[in-house]
Amino acid sequence: MLQNEKSELTKQIILDKSFTLFYENGFKTTSVDKIMKATKLTKGAFYHHYKNKKELGLAVISLKVQQRVYKGMITPLYQSGNALQILETTFLDRLKSFPVYDKQHGCPMNNFINEVGDLEVAYQLALRRIIEDWKAALITLIDRGQKENTISKTLSSKAIAVYLISAFEGIRGIRKLYDTDDILDQYIDGLSLYLKQIKA
């Protein structure tokens, strides 16, 4: 294996393992020592790729967390078809698809927001960028739905977008408190009702 390939592989191992540890145990309580122990790499390997834990945290947000949100919640919003149905399938299907592990640990982005969103401007900007991209995708879809007369034109697309993001992230956090999906099922019923109410 070439040195550059080995270096990139090492960096990816640190990134992947850090994401898992941050997700399961929290960012603040996961030390560089814990990450190195989990990866079986040396501290030298860590500091060759990252100046400190803050830089690693930003890399996890921009490379791992952002990728998850894009794949699950943003990219599907740009497909063609009935805008209201796209909203419904994107939000409801995503919630129904989460394995127990994800339900128990919540949303990685929301976990970061709650844990470090008020600590550093750099974290705020990285997390806000994801939210703004998600919001922009929703507004584009809702505006299209209003033009195509599938979504009520009397409603603010920005307000709908922010509400949908906030409610989705909220239930992801609340579900961590429960051992069953009852609270999730109740949210799904409420979301289905809301989507019917915004129909044109």
CATH number at residue 75: 1.10.357.10
My answer on whether 42 and 124 are in the same domain is no
Q: What is the pLDDT of residue 73?
A: 97
Question: Does residue 184 sit in the same domain as residue 86?
Answer: yes
pLDDT beneath 70: ranges in the chain: 1
Residue 7 maps to a domain: yes
Per-residue pLDDT at 33: 94
pLDDT of residue 67: 96
What are the phi and psi torsion angles at 117 (to 5°)?
-60, -20
Name the 3-class secondary structure at 97. Answer: helix
**What pLDDT is recorded for position 117?**
87
Q: What H or E segment, with its residue span, contains residue 83?
A: helix 83-88
pLDDT in the model for residue 7: 80
pLDDT of residue 167: 97
Q: Same structural domain for residues 73 and 21? A: no
Per the domain annotation, does 182 fall within a domain?
Answer: yes
For residue 10, the enclosing domain spans: 1-50
- For the chain, how many structural domains are there in total? 2
Residue where the block lists tokens 């994107």: 90
Q: Which of 111, 123, 115 is nearest to 56 (CA)?
A: 123
- Point out which residues pair with 151 in neighbouring strands: 199
